Amino acid sequence: MRLLADGAVHSGTGLAAKLGVTRAAVWKSIRQLEAAGVSIGAQQGKGYWLAEPLELLDENQVSAALGDEARQHIEQLEVLWQVPSTSDYLLQAPAVAAGRSRVCLAEFQNGGRGRRGREWFAAAGHSICLSLSWSFQSSPQQLASLALAVGVGVMRTARAAGAADAQLKWPNDVVVNGNKLAGVLIDVQGEAGGPMRVVVGVGLNYSLPDSAVQKIAAAGGLQPASLAGVGRTPSMSRNAVAGLLINDLHGVMNEFSARGFSGFAAEWRAADYLFAKPVTVIADTVQHCGIVRGIAADGRLQLETNGGILHLMSGDVSVRPADQ
């Protein structure tokens, strides 16, 4: 992947010599990269190439983009090539001390998780797959609204990186024109009244090859968006966006530790993609139809139905045509 990242044409013989492997091993590796969502051109007698150059994640470059707040809290920052899930990787690691963090990024996840056990697919080299492990001294109030607060942080990153129209779709998506730019998943470990560890998982689409768009669309749910698709070329390098995202997540965790969701509610409401839209919400296998009337102070969705206002803490939301 690093040899091909420059976008130039590389012969199979040349790749084999640089890697110290056989031509057959090169071919096998090319197939593996394609399975990971990388678009590779190939021509007999010519070689292999990427459709466009890729910027791979680099631990030093990501670290250089960190601000003082993040630097003060991070115990460890890792950039991995492949891992089943960055969140699962951190969940298997020892918990950090209260107010401290551990961060993991990966070029490719072969077991990325979305909400409700769904797969999160991100083409290798085209997305930012990041998880942050954080420990609270004790379980914070309004813990259930942490995903909404994290969504605000991810939206800040997306807007700074060129997606000026990024909005929030309850409960945990960042969207552009209704298309999914990023998703958030929170894992919690601990007991009420005692130390609490959370692992915040974020998937942010930096750029998407056509093959990845087709695969994501075929899986159902929201159509994907990317920073590159929003502005043709992202206004920040991929490593800089990763660093900014880590900065924003640390800001969110510190603010949430001190004030809960109250410090994010106004910003969330101002960016509410679903407000006043007719939707269908499936919560605990029960389907509700109504008009979204924003969120409550604790982050619950307020859904106006024929029977009155429902307050929902979780659920899958789809927008209905206005005439339904």
- Say if CB 308 and CB 279 are below 8 A apart: no
Q: What is the predicted pLDDT for the residue at 58?
A: 94
- Its sign, for the CA torsion 120, 121, 122, 124, is positive
Average pLDDT over residues 192-211: 87
pLDDT tens per residue, range 101-114: 999 999 988 765 55
What distance in Å separates the CA atoms of residue 301 and residue 294, rounded to the nearest whole number?
6
pLDDT of residue 215: 76
Helix residue ranges, H only, the chain: 12-19, 23-35, 59-64, 68-73, 86-91, 146-160, 210-218, 227-231, 238-259, 265-270
Q: Give the model's pLDDT for residue 202.
A: 96
Distance CA 198, CA 98 (A): 11
Tens of pLDDT, residues 9-47: 999 999 999 999 999 999 999 888 887 777 888 888 889
User: Which pLDDT does position 106 carry in this prediction?
Assistant: 95
Question: 4-50 — its CATH code?
Answer: 1.10.10.10
**Residue 70 pLDDT > 80:** yes
Global pTM value: 0.89
* Lowest-confidence segment of 5-19, 56-70, 144-158 by average pLDDT: 5-19
Helix (H, G, I), strand (E, B) or coil at 109: strand
Q: 275-319 maps to which CATH number? A: 2.30.30.100
Residue type, 123: A
Q: Domain 59-269 is in which class?
A: alpha beta
Domain boundary assignment for the chain = 4-50, 59-269, 275-319
List Cα–Cα distances, 213 to 60, 112, 131, 136, in angstroms: 30, 16, 23, 37
How far from chain centre, in Å, is Cα 288? 27
Q: What is the pLDDT of residues 42-65, one digit of tens each?
A: 888 889 988 778 899 999 999 999
Contact 137, 110 (CB under 8 A): no
Q: In this structure, are residues 182 and 152 in contact, taking their beta carbons and an 8 Å threshold?
A: no
Of the candidates 147, 126, 98, the one whose C-alpha atom is nearest the C-alpha of residue 36 is 126
DSSP at 181: E
